[in-house]
Amino acid sequence: MPLFPRFHSRSAPLLLSASLLMLPWAAQAGRPLATDDAGTAQHGTCQVEFWQDRQPDAKDTVLAPACGMAEGVEFGLEYSRPSPRTDITAGAGAAMKWVPSALNWKTPAGEVQAGLKLAAAFIKPRGSGLRQADASALVLLSWAPGEGVAAHLNLGPGYDRASGKTAALGNVAVVYAPNDRGLLFAETLHNSRSAVFGSATHVVGGRVWVKPEVFGIDLTAARTQGSRRTTWGIGLGWYGISF
């Protein structure tokens, strides 16, 4: 398997109706993780991901295509629809990742890759068009200390348009892939302004590759700090689509 495989995704596995402020750093994450890896789709290829996050009384359905526009450059979009549709009827996101080969280091402790992601999130209130809700700029770091093990770190500012507040965002994930047929992960998503951006969220999950690095099925479970409710997510991903 590649050093930094495209686990691909999304957004953080939380319902749009309950966590719109999570979108700026969740958009175009490496599904099934919300924490992004320092890797991109290969130049000239695209990927399509589809998933649904559920709680007993609500769900959020997401479609997220992305393409490698040049070596080390990926552009992605995301569209989500909550159910039931209340004041917010839809959400959307756009993100660009830049992962230059020059920011790759082979060290005695393992290989390290760095990159940058710029993202913006939008919401569609009932009776009006899309409007920008949040934006973020994250430094991406991926570290592979050994075969089948990787850690990912995202750090940077996030801006909430409604409140005019900026917060420091920090996501950390650890991934274990025992073979090329699947992986397991655990991650935590933090920010410095929980009153605006929401409390810390902890996620565990995994992926099974039906066809390694081409088609995968994943399952996630997320819980916000201080809550007893679990958000369950199931998703599909199709990768390496040439254009």
pLDDT at 30: 65
pLDDT at 23: 40
pLDDT at 6 over 60: no
Measured in whole angstroms, the distance separating CA 224 from the mean position of its chain's CA atoms is 16
- Fold of the 20-242 domain: Porin (2.40.160)
pLDDT above 70 covers a percentage of the chain that reads: 88
Instruction: Answer yes or no: are the C-beta atoms of 239 and 67 closer than 8 Å.
Output: no
Positive or negative: CA dihedral 172, 207, 203, 45: positive
Using one digit for the tens of pLDDT, what is the confidence trace for 24-64? 334 444 679 999 999 999 999 999 999 999 988 889 999 99
Token pair of 211 as six digits: 């066809």
Measured in whole angstroms, the distance separating CA 74 from the mean position of its chain's CA atoms is 14
Nearest CA to 14 among 63, 56, 54? 54
pLDDT at 84: 86
- pLDDT tier at 12, thresholds 50, 70, 90: very low
Q: How far is CA 106 from CA 39, 94, 113, 152, 153, in A?
A: 16, 31, 9, 16, 17
Distance between CA atoms of residues 55 and 99, nearest Å: 35
Using one digit for the tens of pLDDT, what is the confidence trace for 172-211? 999 999 999 999 999 999 999 999 888 999 999 999 999 9
The conformational region for residue 198 under phi > 0 = left, psi -120 to 50 = alpha, else beta, is left
Using one digit for the tens of pLDDT, what is the confidence trace for 124-164? 988 888 888 899 999 999 999 999 999 999 999 999 998 99
State which H helix or E strand residue 239 sits in: strand 231-242
pLDDT at 127: 85
| pTM (two decimals) | 0.88
> What is the SS3 assignment for 28?
coil
Q: Domain ranges for the chain, please list them.
A: 20-242
Of 1-15, 39-53, 112-126, least confident by mean pLDDT is: 1-15
pLDDT at 8: 39
Using one digit for the tens of pLDDT, what is the confidence trace for 55-96? 888 899 999 999 999 999 999 999 999 888 778 899 999 999
Distance between CA atoms of residues 204 and 11, nearest Å: 14
pLDDT at 232 over 80: yes
pLDDT at 95: 95
pLDDT at 240 over 90: yes
